[in-house]
Structure 1
Amino acid sequence: MGTAIKAEVRKLLTTRLWWGMAIAVLAAGALLALLMASILNETPNPEQQAQGQPAMTPLQIATSTYTSGSAFGYVLLMVIGIMTIGSEYRHKTITGSLLAVPHRSRLIAAKVIALLAFGVLYGLIFLIGSVGAGATVLSIRGLEVFPEPGTLLRSLVLVLLVLGLWALIGLGLGVLITNQIAAILVGVGVAFIVEPLLGVLVSQVSWGESLAKYFPSRATNAVLQGYAQDGSTNQLSWWAGALVLIGYAAIMVAIGTFLTERRDVT
Structure 2
Amino acid sequence: MSLATSARSETTKLFTTVMWWILALVLVVYVGMTAAGLGFVFSASATGALPGEGNGPQVPADGVAGVLYSIAASVGYVFPLLIGTLMVTAEFRHKTLTPTFLATPRRGTVLWAKAVVGVGIGAVYAVLAIIAAAGPAAGFLAGFGLDTDLASSDTWAMFGRIVLAFALWVLIGIGVGALVRNQVAAVVIVLAFTQFIEPIGRVAAAFVKGLDKVTQFLPGAASDALVGQSIYTSMGQSTGAAQLEWWAGGIVLLAYAVVLIVIGNYASWRRDVS
CA distance in 2, matches of 1:163, 1:213: 18
Contact kept in structure 1, 2:69 and 2:130, CA below 8 Å:
yes
Counterpart of 2:88 (choices 71, 85, 90) is 85
CA distance in 1, matches of 2:151, 2:61: 11
Amino acid at match of 1:111: K
Q: Deviations over 1:5-43 (max 9, x none)?
A: 001111110011122122112212321211121111447
Q: CA deviation at 1:47?
A: 4.8
Contact kept in structure 1, 2:35 and 2:68, CA below 8 Å:
yes
SS for the counterpart of 2:259 is helix
Q: CA deviation at 1:258?
A: 1.7
Contact kept in structure 1, 2:32 and 2:132, CA below 8 Å:
yes
For 1:33, the equivalent position in structure 2 comes to: 35
Map 1:182-193; keep pairs closer than 5 Å.
182-193=185-196
Amino acid at match of 1:187: V
CA distance in 2, matches of 1:211, 1:47: 35
CA distance in 1, matches of 2:180, 2:27: 25
Q: Which moved more, 1:216-225 or 1:173-182?
A: 216-225
- Change in 2 beyond 3 A, CA 1:78/1:66: same
In the alignment, does 2:208 pair up with 1:215? no
Amino acid at match of 2:87: T
For 1:121, the equivalent position in structure 2 comes to: 124
Structure 2: gaps of 5 or more residues: none
Q: Deviations over 1:182-241 (max 9, x none)?
A: 110111111110122233445654432211111111112222234722124421121111
For 2:139, the equivalent position in structure 1 comes to: 136
TM-score by length of 1: 0.90
SS for the counterpart of 2:76 is helix
CA distance in 1, matches of 2:131, 2:113: 27
Structure 1: gaps of 5 or more residues: none
CA distance in 1, matches of 2:184, 2:94: 12
Contact kept in structure 1, 2:118 and 2:171, CA below 8 Å:
yes
CA distance in 2, matches of 1:19, 1:3: 23
Amino acid at match of 1:199: R
CA distance in 2, matches of 1:205, 1:265: 45
- Change in 2 beyond 3 A, CA 1:57/1:252: farther
SS for the counterpart of 2:273 is coil
TM-score by length of 2: 0.87
Amino acid at match of 1:56: P
Dislocated runs of 4+, deviation >6 Å: none
Map 1:36-47; keep pairs closer than 5 Å.
36-40=38-42, 41-42=45-46, 46-47=54-55
CA distance in 2, matches of 1:214, 1:16: 34
The number of aligned residues is: 261
Q: CA deviation at 1:120?
A: 0.4
Amino acid at match of 2:234: Q
Q: CA deviation at 1:80?
A: 0.8
Contact kept in structure 1, 2:150 and 2:156, CA below 8 Å:
no
Q: CA deviation at 1:3?
A: 0.5
Contact kept in structure 2, 1:77 and 1:163, CA below 8 Å:
yes
For 1:96, the equivalent position in structure 2 comes to: 99
How well do the aligned residues superpose, as a CA RMSD in angstroms? 2.1
